[in-house]
Structure 1
Amino acid sequence: MNSRNRITIFILQAAPYLLFLAILLVFGSLSDRFLSVTNFTNIVIQAAPVAILAVGMTFVLLTAEIDLSVGAIMYLTGCLLGLYLGGAPWPLALVVVLVASALLGAINGVLVAYLGITSFIATLGTLFIGRGIAMSASNTASVYFPDAITALNRATVFGIPSAIVAVAVVFAVAWILLRQTPFGRQVYAVGQDRDAAAKAGLPAKRIVFLCFVISGALAGIAGFVSVTQIGAITASYGLQAEFSAIAAAVLGGTSLFGGRGGVKGALFGALLIQTAANGLVIINANPYIYPLVTAGIIFIAVAVDGLRSRMLERLERRFIRPWEIA
């Protein structure tokens, strides 16, 4: 590989970190509060729901699919929690939410893996169906959560906030699944070439199905963590959450084309997105600017991924082993 290719790949790999550094410098220069330890702690806690969503999205993206329904799953399971499980002990409520969200993910998995429907279309459909059911159940009114649920946001484990603990547990389980088990190796193989994986005897359809189940389950957990922080949800809850999750995963190095990436990067991407959002709040920016900033981050993430994928394809054709630099 010549020096020009090495420099190009280095720049593409470093782009998200350079963007993060730029965000720190810009907002740090505009507000003294932004770079404080207290504010960074708040950023990490607030990033927890997006981080958990992004971990689930990573599984789906690794198979070269996409899940647009995660925001709707958050809203639907949030309504389930607030309307019907308010008096239940929180561990039981969490289990019910986890099972319900996994079932919703399983519906996506069946549609995509076994019925052959394009994941964009299938999950877009379940997005509208799930959100419609939730809005009907709540009558589009605000849904409030009991103190037993919101108190979890103030709980700590050995002094560590519960939201951070939740992210750590999700990350640890996901990392082990992807990096230390045959299932994880099969996920990467299916994402790199599904037909070849199937011909080699791998259960490609089942792998894709299970990745959607994982994405759905983690959307439910993300929603649970989120409602402990905000205490109430409206009909707009979870809107566009899928785009933040996708952006976080892609910023962290997971390819939209499948077969490359991991959950460590998803956590970094979520932190970057939340840092930008926090900075806008700190400087009292116009709320209408927020979607523009998110859109800009998504554009950068997709552009970098596309350029990097094309570069690796060219190296492959020249008999370079791209996985050594991916």
Structure 2
Amino acid sequence: MNATRLRLVLLRNAPVALFIVVLAVFGSLSDRFLDAQNFTNILIQASHIAILGIGMTFVLLTAGIDLSVGAVMYLSVALLGIYLADVPPLLAVPAMMAAGALFGLVNAFFIVRLRVAAFIVTLATLFIGRGLALWVTETRMVFYKDHILSLARAEWLGVPWAIWVFAIVFAAAWLVLNHTPFGRQVYAVGENPDAAAKAGINVPLVLTAVYAVSGACAGIAGFVSITQVGAAASSFAMEKEFAAVAAAVLGGVSLFGGRGGVAGTVFGAVLIQTVQNGLVIVNADPYIYPLVTSSIIFLAVFVDSQRSRILERLGRRRIRIEERPV
């Protein structure tokens, strides 16, 4: 193995190494951190980030980005609290998914049809979505009824409800990306949209679909999160879009498209929540939290850029070898 490939292996395994370091550090600082119940709490708390990150993964795989997912989370729970307060969860969740998907379609219209950069569009709709939520709630905190809040304590076969929801979303996304034509088209569009179009793939339709999926996942994530916190203030889901991007990129999804998967995204979400949980357990200064989160995001982007650069270099080398006359 030459030095370049060794460096690539190290970069690919950097998140695993970071996770081991996190476990070792917080485990040495607190006996409660390594408790089995605490790991269950981490999975529960990470569930909405994982769901949000899964939706973000679809977008990132096409070399796009969706910065509006946090606002969609807030808007969906605002609609739930104001207009769907008495609706059973089995009907409320699809309604929130539909609202999120509709918001995603709005993003897709400007990105796909009007060809505005995804970063600009979703940055704008981030503020629009949060403004709509503030208008719906009249800037007041929204509280929820017992049939919603009781889900935080609900279990099936001994597994908390939030983990079941996250597992179902993960399984559906994994099957779609790995075992359906649409999943293969998503990867193809992210790898090379021009080549995908020449191969007969409807690139605009694929791009539209991934933003709808991202919005729908944000709606589900909002519902799961609200069952845990119990009320939605104006700061609800603030900056969650960055956690979703960091989870995906830490898990191996490339910001440049075409590489990664939802399994890695779930690992990234658990890693981020493990760090936050450890900071709480050791009673760290709350002002440190955003510094740690920003450091994780920086690490994720740095690792992805280095990994992509090495893969591009190896790809060019392989092309030169194939073109060499026999």
Give runs of aligned pairs for residues 205-224 of structure 1, distance below 5 A.
205-224=204-223
Q: CA deviation at 1:39?
A: 0.5
- In the TM superposition, structure 1's runs of 4+ consecutive aligned residues that sit over 4 Å from their partners are none
Residues in 1 aligned to 2:145 and 2:112: alpha-carbon distance in whole angstroms: 38
Residue 183 of structure 1 corresponds to 182
Residue 240 of structure 2 corresponds to 241
Residues in 2 aligned to 1:116 and 1:196: alpha-carbon distance in whole angstroms: 18
Of residues 152-161 and 59-68 in structure 1, the stretch that sits farther from structure 2 once superposed is: 152-161
Q: Secondary structure at the match of 2:129?
A: helix
Residue 229 of structure 1 corresponds to 228
Residues in 1 aligned to 2:189 and 2:240: alpha-carbon distance in whole angstroms: 26
Residues in 2 aligned to 1:88 and 1:262: alpha-carbon distance in whole angstroms: 34
Task: Give yes or no for the alignment of 1:84 onto 2:86.
Answer: no
Task: Give yes or no for the alignment of 1:115 onto 2:114.
Answer: yes
Q: Secondary structure at the match of 2:245?
A: helix
Residues in 2 aligned to 1:126 and 1:198: alpha-carbon distance in whole angstroms: 28
Q: CA deviation at 1:96?
A: 1.1
Residues in 2 aligned to 1:29 and 1:141: alpha-carbon distance in whole angstroms: 42
Q: Which amino acid aligns with 1:255?
A: S
Residues in 2 aligned to 1:313 and 1:90: alpha-carbon distance in whole angstroms: 47
Q: Which amino acid aligns with 1:225?
A: V
Residue 39 of structure 2 corresponds to 40
Q: Secondary structure at the match of 2:318?
A: coil
Aligned residues, how many?
320
Q: CA deviation at 1:6?
A: 2.2
Residues in 1 aligned to 2:184 and 2:94: alpha-carbon distance in whole angstroms: 28
Give runs of aligned pairs for residues 38-117 of structure 1, distance below 5 A.
38-117=37-116
Residues in 2 aligned to 1:270 and 1:296: alpha-carbon distance in whole angstroms: 15
Residue 195 of structure 1 corresponds to 194
Residues in 2 aligned to 1:159 and 1:21: alpha-carbon distance in whole angstroms: 27
Residue 324 of structure 2 corresponds to none
Residues in 2 aligned to 1:173 and 1:110: alpha-carbon distance in whole angstroms: 25
Residue 15 of structure 1 corresponds to 14
Residues in 2 aligned to 1:6 and 1:317: alpha-carbon distance in whole angstroms: 14
Residue 323 of structure 2 corresponds to none
Q: Secondary structure at the match of 2:86?
A: coil
Q: Percent identity?
A: 58
Residues in 2 aligned to 1:90 and 1:280: alpha-carbon distance in whole angstroms: 33
Q: TM-score, normalised by structure 2?
A: 0.97
Residues in 2 aligned to 1:14 and 1:98: alpha-carbon distance in whole angstroms: 34
Residue 154 of structure 2 corresponds to 155
Instruction: Give the direction of change, closer, same or farther, for the CA distance of 1:320–1:146 in structure 2 (3 Å limit).
Output: farther
Residues in 2 aligned to 1:279 and 1:261: alpha-carbon distance in whole angstroms: 27
- Structure 1 stretches lacking a partner, 5+ long: 322-326
Instruction: Give the direction of change, closer, same or farther, for the CA distance of 1:312–1:141 in structure 2 (3 Å limit).
Output: same
Q: CA deviation at 1:320?
A: 6.7
Residue 261 of structure 2 corresponds to 262
Q: CA deviation at 1:10?
A: 1.1
| Offset from partner CA, 1:53-83 (integer Å, 9 cap, x none) | 0000000000000000000000000100111
Alignment RMSD (CA, Å): 1.1
Q: Which amino acid aligns with 2:194?
A: D
Q: CA deviation at 1:93?
A: 1.3
Q: CA deviation at 1:199?
A: 1.9
Residues in 1 aligned to 2:149 and 2:97: alpha-carbon distance in whole angstroms: 18
Residue 173 of structure 2 corresponds to 174
Q: CA deviation at 1:178?
A: 0.3
Residues in 2 aligned to 1:69 and 1:155: alpha-carbon distance in whole angstroms: 30
Residue 305 of structure 1 corresponds to 304
Q: CA deviation at 1:174?
A: 0.3
Residue 123 of structure 2 corresponds to 124
Residue 136 of structure 2 corresponds to 137
Residues in 2 aligned to 1:289 and 1:84: alpha-carbon distance in whole angstroms: 38
- Structure 2 stretches lacking a partner, 5+ long: 321-326
Q: Secondary structure at the match of 2:238?
A: coil
Residues in 1 aligned to 2:161 and 2:112: alpha-carbon distance in whole angstroms: 35
Residues in 2 aligned to 1:72 and 1:239: alpha-carbon distance in whole angstroms: 7
